[in-house]
Chain A
Amino acid sequence: GAGVSQSPSNKVTEKGKDVELRCDPISGHTALYWYRQSLGQGLEFLIYFQGNSAPDKSGLPSDRFSAERTGGSVSTLTIQRTQQEDSAVYLCASSLVETYGYTFGSGTRLTVV
Chain B
Amino acid sequence: AQSVSQHNHHVILSEAASLELGCNYSYGGTVNLFWYVQYPGQHLQLLLKYFSGDPLVKGIKGFEAEFIKSKFSFNLRKPSVQWSDTAEYFCAVNVQWAGNNRKLIWGLGTSLAVNP
Most A C-beta atoms less than 10 A away, residue of B46, B90, B103: B103
Contact across chains for B106 and A45 when beta carbons are under 8 A apart: yes
Q: Contact: A101 with B46, CB < 8 Å?
A: yes
A:18-53 near B, CB below 8 Å: 33, 35, 41-45, 48
Which of A56, A93, A104, A105 is in CB contact (< 8 Å) with B103? A56
CA distance A41 to B107 in the complex (A): 9
Give the chain A neighbours of B36 by CB distance below 8 A.
104
Contact status A45-B104, CB under 8 Å: yes
17 CB contacts below 8 A, A to B, read A33-B104, A42-B90, A42-B109, A45-B104, A45-B105, A45-B106, A48-B103, A91-B43, A98-B102, A99-B51, A101-B34, A101-B46, A102-B46, A104-B36, A104-B44, A106-B42, A107-B43
Q: Is the CB of A55 within 8 A of B104?
A: no
Query: Is B46 in contact with A43, judged by CB distance below 8 angstroms?
Result: no
A-B contact count (CB 8 A): 47
Contact with B along A67-103 (1 / 0, CB 8 A): 0000000000000000000000001010000111111
Whether, in the assembled complex, B87 has its beta carbon less than 8 Å from a beta carbon of chain A, the answer is no
Q: Fill in one digit per residue for B43-55: 1 if any A CB lies within 8 Å of its CB, else 0.
A: 1111001010000
Closest-CB distance, A10 to chain B (whole angstroms): 13
How many chain A residues have a CB neighbour from B under 8 Å? 22
- Indicate whether A101 sits within 8 Å of B43 (C-beta atoms), given known contacts A42-B109, A43-B90, A55-B101: no
Residue in B43, B94, B102, B108 whose CB lies within 8 Å of A106: B43
**When the two chains form the complex, which single residue of A33, A41, A105 contacts B43, counting CB atoms closer than 8 Å?**
A105
A100 to B94, CA, bound (A): 10
Across the interface, do A45 and B44 meet the contact criterion of CB distance under 8 Å? no
Whether a CB of chain A sits under 8 angstroms from the CB of B84 is no
- Complex: chain B residue closest to A89, CB-CB: B43
